Chains A and B, each alone.
Chain A
Amino acid sequence: MSQFNVKRPIVGLPEQDPEPQFSDDELVWTDDEQAKIERWKGQYPDPKAAIMNVLWLAQEKFGWLPPEVIQLCADTLDMDYARAFGVATFYTQYYKEEQGEYVLDVCTCFSCQMMGGYDIFHYLEEKLGIHDGETTDDGTFTLKEVECLGCCGSAPMMQVSNGPYVHNLTKEKVDQLIENLRAGQMPTFTSVTLPQDEDEMGGNRRTDVQPEQVETYQTPPRAEATE
């Protein structure tokens, strides 16, 4: 009765034997990195628990996690490749494909959706000429639609390259951000102040955060259409 009409596999199948991206000479830890790994291993009753940290370290070093990098991590902790690969593929923040220089993780989850998260996301799609998960031709930006980042009060918002959050997004703010990133300037950590602090202590409570790094929770003006 029914025809199976598979449009695309839900999860892309990895190539069986992709060309290695890194040479054996590159696939080594520095002494500093090795020291970190040893410290992490000592923090758990079973050193294999350090795999998440080691994958993070590898991603910082190599930019992403092709099979040979995952193999390095597995060897480092004396575990099977399959287990390390399993961990790398379970968590969304580990990059299994090469990414642009900057990764824009735009939250479109429903609190952000209600505040115009998709307006921001579609604006970026048009501005950069790419869709969800794609990278610009010049390799500068990768755009992603992500789930709640735990900042729903300052929606819509995004995270840049697994790093700083950018809150209360507007099209102007997005333009500025893209311009800054093109000039190699990452956003800095921003503290969003509590409304009660604004009433009781005039806003920001942390003196280690510069005034330009401080924002308040805001509600964007009503958009014409909420998606």
Chain B
Amino acid sequence: MEATNGTPQSKAGDWRSYERVLLPPVKDLHRLEVYEQHGGYDALRTVLTDDSLTPGDVTQAVKESGLRGRGGAGFSTGMKWSFMPEPDDRPRYLACNADESEPGTFKDRQLMEYNPHLMFEGILIACYAMQIDACYVYTRGEYVDWIDHMQVELDKLYDKGYVGDNIMGTGFSTEIVMHKGAGAYICGEETSLLESLEGKRGYPRYKPPFPAQKGAWSQPTTINNVETLACVPLIVNRGAEWFASTGAEQHPGPVLYGISGHVNRPGVYEYPTGMLITDLIDEVAGGVRGGKALKALIPGGASVPPLRADMIEGVTMDAESLREAGSLFGTGGMLILDEDTDMVSWLRRVTHFYQHESCGQCTPCREGTGWLEQIVTRIDEGEGRLRDLDLLLELGDQMEGRTICAFADAAVWPVRNTVKRFREEFEAKCKKSVHPTGAEVSAGAETAA
């Protein structure tokens, strides 16, 4: 990260003159007519009509581009596609994950609002690459307005013969169906999404078997995020090398940063990956509100560890740099907190979120998230003991890695790291004296009940 002259360096190159490609500045780009005037569906046409481009070649190009999933886990998209078994007589499915419920994340919604056809085109190319029979766009129920808008555009695609039977007269057929959720964060988790798609309670499934082997209705299935799929036409049009050379080498491409919290100019911004966090806060988002100092940053949604202000010097927004710094890229939804923030009260609300959203299948998660909330609440209300801090950490150790899905891990990481990184604040709120007497024990027991 350090340049030769010792000043921190962005991996995003000349980002001030970056030209947007996911959300290019074109009026009414959300309409099919306009999208096509600007080269829309050329990539699909190329892929379907160029006989020298096999489905395997498309997957290979996506692999070479270095595209990593934008839904949170950051897994190589090309690799994921290649896990799909060879086509046989079984139906094959794609699920586009538009559930976007990770607190702090609001970028997919903007893509669906302003450039839905990029997503649809990406879906169709992915369907060709993996020889998919139907794609379900699983959108959270709260996004009803956006679902309706997308349905209008999807109907146009059916009318035009870009979706359905014999697409563009090439003999390739695939369906796209909009599926509306009904309010459950956990349905963003890929196997929970599949359960929900099948019309069940959204309980995550054990893995293995992985969805590529046994997914929706037990058939081979791939799940990709909206933004991930929207990157695919760009790779076809501009080449895998272009994509790989945009932004950070290990985590390349254009990306949508959703910046919220105590900044002067919040919003969704498109830049390459590998932007310096300091550039994003100070320049892009106009600095911290009211000229205050930064206290903490959550780089990628609720589930990633928060960073203290003194930890972000020279750190760039890509998986490698953030991992070294002690956090994760997540969804790229950055929450910025200023010096006046009460981290205990903030964490109390975070734990409430996880307590509320746990699906309840696994005991460590169902009970653990409730305990985390109760303990942080007790500390926030001035009733906590110093040893509660260790109790929180220990509880986290008991939850992590012992559950069906990664939700419990995601609940533990912010707790563990907030307690560790802002420990003085927690200690300051705890009761000062610790008397290991019976009186105290029963007082503690009462609060817990």
Which A residues are within 8 Å of any B CB, using their own CB? 1-6, 43-46, 48-53, 55-56, 77, 83, 86-87, 90-94, 108-111, 113-115, 147-155, 159, 162-165, 189, 191-192, 194-197, 200-201, 205-208, 216-219, 222, 226-227
Across the two chains, which residue of chain B brings its CB closest to A220?
A: B289
Quick check: A162 and B342 within 8 Å, CB to CB? no
Quick check: B262 and A164 within 8 Å, CB to CB? no
Quick check: B91 and A45 within 8 Å, CB to CB? yes
B105 contacts chain A at the CB level, 8 A cutoff: yes
A149 surroundings in chain B (CB, below 8 A): 142
Given contacts A94-B183, A153-B260, A196-B20, 16 further A-B contacts (CB under 8 A): A46-B198, A50-B199, A93-B141, A111-B260, A147-B185, A148-B101, A151-B106, A152-B260, A152-B333, A194-B269, A197-B23, A205-B25, A206-B27, A222-B289, A222-B340, A226-B341
A192 surroundings in chain B (CB, below 8 A): 110, 267
Tally of contacts, chain A with chain B, CB under 8 A: 206
In the complex the two chains form, what is the Cα distance from A216 to B264 in whole Å?
12
In the complex the two chains form, what is the Cα distance from A197 to B268 in whole Å?
10
A-B contacts, 20 of them at CB < 8 A, read: A1-B445, A2-B449, A44-B177, A45-B219, A49-B199, A51-B199, A90-B201, A91-B181, A91-B183, A91-B202, A109-B353, A110-B350, A113-B346, A147-B101, A148-B102, A152-B333, A162-B142, A205-B25, A207-B27, A219-B263
* Given A195-B267, A197-B25, A219-B263: A110 in contact with B346 (beta carbons within 8 A): yes
* Given A205-B29, A217-B267: A109 in contact with B183 (beta carbons within 8 A): no
Quick check: A56 and B180 within 8 Å, CB to CB? yes
In the complex the two chains form, what is the Cα distance from A169 to B357 in whole Å?
25
A109 surroundings in chain B (CB, below 8 A): 103, 349, 353
B335 contacts chain A at the CB level, 8 A cutoff: yes
Interface core residue of A4, A147, A218 (most chain B CB under 10 Å): A147
Quick check: B105 and A150 within 8 Å, CB to CB? yes
Contact of A153 among B114, B266, B357 (CB under 8 A): B266
Interchain residue pairs A-B with the least CB separation, the first 4: A91-B182, A93-B183, A148-B103, A217-B267
SS class, residues of chain A in contact with chain B: loop
B180 surroundings in chain A (CB, below 8 A): 52-53, 56
Quick check: B267 and A152 within 8 Å, CB to CB? no
Quick check: B267 and A194 within 8 Å, CB to CB? yes
* Given A52-B196, A191-B113, A197-B25: A92 in contact with B290 (beta carbons within 8 A): no
Within 8 A of A (CB), among B62-106: 91, 100-106
Per-residue CB contact flags for chain B residues 139-166 toward chain A (1 = under 8 Å, else 0) read 0111111000000000000000000000
Quick check: A56 and B337 within 8 Å, CB to CB? no
Across the two chains, which residue of chain A brings its CB closest to B178?
A: A43
Quick check: B179 and A52 within 8 Å, CB to CB? yes
Per-residue CB contact flags for chain B residues 248-292 toward chain A (1 = under 8 Å, else 0) read 000000000011111111111110000000000000000001100
In the complex the two chains form, what is the Cα distance from A205 to B115 in whole Å?
11
B372 contacts chain A at the CB level, 8 A cutoff: no
A154 surroundings in chain B (CB, below 8 A): 266
**Smallest CB–CB gap between B361 and chain A, Å?**
11
Across the two chains, which residue of chain A brings its CB closest to B201?
A: A90
Quick check: A153 and B258 within 8 Å, CB to CB? yes
Quick check: B185 and A155 within 8 Å, CB to CB? no
Contact of A111 among B91, B217, B335 (CB under 8 A): B335
Quick check: A94 and B350 within 8 Å, CB to CB? no
B446 surroundings in chain A (CB, below 8 A): 3, 5
* Given A147-B353, A152-B333: A93 in contact with B182 (beta carbons within 8 A): yes
A53 surroundings in chain B (CB, below 8 A): 180
Per-residue CB contact flags for chain B residues 194-215 toward chain A (1 = under 8 Å, else 0) read 0011111110000000000000
Quick check: A152 and B103 within 8 Å, CB to CB? yes
Quick check: B302 and A110 within 8 Å, CB to CB? yes
B356 contacts chain A at the CB level, 8 A cutoff: yes
Per-residue CB contact flags for chain B residues 338-361 toward chain A (1 = under 8 Å, else 0) read 001110011001100100110100
In the complex the two chains form, what is the Cα distance from A55 to B142 in whole Å?
15
In the complex the two chains form, what is the Cα distance from A192 to B177 in whole Å?
26
Quick check: B145 and A219 within 8 Å, CB to CB? no
